[in-house]
Every structure is written in C-alpha cells, then in structure tokens.
Amino acid sequence: MIDFHNEIVNFRDFGKETVVLSHEFEDQTIPVYVNEYWTSRQRQGHSLHEVSYRACFKPQLPLFFIQRFTRPGDVVYDPFMGRGTTLLEATLHQRVALGCDINPLSAILCGPRLRPPHPDDIFQRLTEIDLTKKSEIWDDLLVFYHPDTLQQICALRDYFLEKQQAGTLDEADAWLRMVATNRLSGHSPGFFSVYSLPPNQAVSIASQQRINSKRNQVPPQRDVKKIIARKSNQLLGDLGEIDRMQHRRTGELGKIITGNCSSVPTVADGTVSLAITSPPFLDIVQYDQDNWLRCWFNGIDSKKVEIWQWRKPADWQNAMAGVFREMYRILKPGGIVAFEVGEIRKGKIVMEDLVIPIASAAGFHIECVMINSQVFTKTSNCWGVDNLSKGTNTNRIIVMRK
C-alpha cells in the first residue's frame, strides 16, 4: 500500500497536484487525497455500459482500482451492483465478476452484457417474435405510449414472461429483454415513449400527464423492433467478434446474486480480491419510484422488493455493519474495498463519519479517503461545508484493507 499512497500523492495525469488533507478518527489520522483521478474528458466507457440507471458511477471509477489492485482472473465484487458497472468493467478486463443486489432488475440489466450472444442470434430472434399478438393493455400507460406502440410493448412483455415461466428464456431473449427494459421511457425518439424525463428513472403517470400538457404533446407511434435493433447495435459497437468471445468466456465465470448482501453464503471465505461499490445513501434515491415501469415490464412487484431506504443515520449504520462484516469474510487477506460515499442533506451529514466506524469495527484498516474532484479551486471547497451546501462535482471513496 505504500506504493499506492505514493502514486496518489504524486498523481499528475490531468495536470493537477494532489492536495493532501486529513481526517481524524479515534487515534488514527487518515489521509485525504484530493485530485482529478478520472475525468469526464477521458474517453467514454465501453459501449456495453450504455444502459442507464439512477445514481450509477462512471466506469472509470472501478477501472482505476481494478488496474491497481487486481490481476486477470481475480474476483471483483460489488454488493450493491445496480446496473452492473463494476461487474462489466471487471469482465472487460478479464477479472471474474461477482455482484449482488436485492432488486432482481439488476440481474436483468447486467447479466446479458456479461455474456452477450452473437449478433446474428439477437437479430434473428427479434424477427421471430410476434408483436401483433393481442395482449392485455394497461390503459393508464397511454400517457407514455401511442396505442400501437403500447400493444407491441405488452405483446413483448407477455412473450418474455411466458418464456421465463416455462424456463425457456435463453440468452438471445435475455439480451432483448434487457434492451427493451432500457428503452421504455426517455427523452428522444430512441425510446418507446413520448418525451419524458431522463432514462434513468420513470416519472409517475400523473407526472407524465403534466409533462404532456405542458409540452402540448401526444405519444407518437414507435417501431419497437427497430428501436431495440438500433440500441443493440450501439451496445455491441465496441465489441468485435474476438473481443466478444473473450468477454463471454470471462463473463461465464461471473456470478450474480439477487438478495440481501448482508449474507452471501454461496460466496466462499477469502475468495475476493477487490470490492468496489456505492451503497444506497439514506433516503436520497427513491429506487422503487424510479423503476416502477421497468419492474412492471419484467413482472416484478416493486413494492415487494425490500430495497433499503433508511432515513436515520443510526439505522443506516446498523444495516451497513452487516455488509462490512460479510465483505470482510469473503475478501482475501490484504484485499481492498473502494467504498464510494456521498454528501447528503446539504452537507450536514458527511458519510465518511458514518462509514469509518463500522468498517473499522468489522476489522478493516482505513487506508485513505480519495476525493476525485473535477472542479475545485480551494482546499476548503473540496472538504468544507460551504461547497457541500451547493453540491459537489466529486466522487468520495474510502479505501480500506483487510
């Protein structure tokens, strides 16, 4: 870890010098490093990442730690995997992906991108699905969709649910389901819906009615198959055939767990080299509200998904303590956790103060806090309340070691 600290202190890749601060915890002084360690000016991530999800981090964040703390074949874990950014970036770099999320939607969005089928299989299957088949229509959704488009969506939904129930939903089906789930609502003609809010969340039916009224818009007719085909081509754009085969071989070694990450008994002790995650931050992100439309399409009762939504810091800490104990169990000796945290409630709560005590109690040694800041001028603006009250353009990562 000495080499890592030296590298971070002397990091100059984007022309800025590291600001070194400190954070006091009990009898330990924890170094705080502020710099631009990954940036929006870097090349965008691999095309396979382009599946939107609320509160996801950029792929450059997990890649930064994957490159420094793992080698090909090592296991990289994310206990709150969301859309699967960590898992996909690990697989793209020949690491074995391991992820967990209590929302079954995560596996639907991530799994097919770890093991993408051959494009010919995808497009052949797309031509075979009958979207003219009559299906039960949820009329309330006409605020989002043209009647013909909604008929296609409902027929597609029925097709996937029937295949899943029969146990015959294969990789081509899973890919198409993932893409369709991603195209349900958004703000361009590349989505099935009329103009709506950004594609990482779905507004309520009442909110969409207000949007339609304000914009004087009615849902246009969309070609569902054409949109799915176009998005599939975009996702596969950076993946040549040799790369796809290598990616699949690595992806098939990966594992996705749908459940509570406080207990992952199917993961053996001491098998994970690196964990990278960003947990739910108290009541900031309403995952249930954001994903109601995606859950409907996939036959998931979002009200029954026990997503953490803690309002009190002490409750959040109690829940997260079990996650740290489980991460400690499955990490190898010397294994690293990169734990991204955020500032909440206008800077009145700094998550480091909640995380460091429970991580230490689980046995971890806190190595440092890294603040990846793309815009900063004064040291106080990176760490002080004045900046936090206005929001920050940063990632804050607590790096800890078993």
- Could you tell me if 34 and 162 lie in one domain? no
Q: Give pLDDT, residue 305.
A: 80
**Which residues neighbour 136 within 8 Å (Cβ) at sequence distance 6 or greater?**
154
Distances (CA, A) of 173 to 53, 75, 129, 157, 225: 21, 28, 10, 11, 13
**Position 87, amino acid:** L
- Could you tell me if 22 and 100 lie in one domain? yes
Q: Give pLDDT, residue 130.
A: 97
Could you tell me if residue 298 is inside a domain? no
Which residue has 């930064």 as its token pair? 64
What is the CB neighbour count within 10 angstroms for residue 258?
Answer: 16
Q: Sheet holding 255-258: strands in order across?
A: 19-25, 28-35, 365-373, 394-401, 331-341, 272-277, 75-78, 96-101, 255-258
Domain CATH for 33: 3.40.50.150
- Could you tell me if 254 and 141 lie in one domain? no
**pTM for this predicted structure:** 0.91
- Could you tell me if 350 and 227 lie in one domain? no
Q: What is the pLDDT of residues 45-95, one digit of tens each?
A: 899 999 988 767 889 999 999 999 999 999 999 999 999 999 999 999 999
pLDDT at 375 over 60: no
Q: Mean pLDDT, to the nearest integer, of 185-197?
A: 95
Among residues 216, 235, 254, the one where a domain terminates is: 235
DSSP state of 363: T
Mean pLDDT of the chain: 89
pLDDT at 202 over 90: no
- Could you tell me if 258 and 335 lie in one domain? yes
With beta carbons less than 8 A apart as the criterion, state whether 62 and 86 touch. Answer: yes
- Could you tell me if 245 and 227 lie in one domain? no
Q: Give pLDDT, residue 38.
A: 87
Could you tell me if residue 93 is inside a domain? yes
With beta carbons less than 8 A apart as the criterion, state whether 126 and 228 touch. Answer: yes
- Could you tell me if 397 and 274 lie in one domain? yes
**Position 97, amino acid:** A
Could you tell me if residue 32 is inside a domain? yes
- Could you tell me if 19 and 70 lie in one domain? yes
What is the rounded distance in angstroms from the CA atom of residue 343 to the CA atom of residue 9?
Answer: 23
**Residue 75: half-sphere exposure toward Cβ, Cα within 13 Å:** 22
Could you tell me if residue 189 is inside a domain? yes
pLDDT at 337 over 50: yes
- Could you tell me if 43 and 182 lie in one domain? no
What is the rounded distance in angstroms from the CA atom of residue 66 to the CA atom of residue 62?
Answer: 6
- Could you tell me if 48 and 174 lie in one domain? no
Number of structural domains in the chain: 2
- Could you tell me if 163 and 92 lie in one domain? no
Could you tell me if residue 294 is inside a domain? no
- Could you tell me if 272 and 355 lie in one domain? yes
Give the domain extent around 209: 119-235
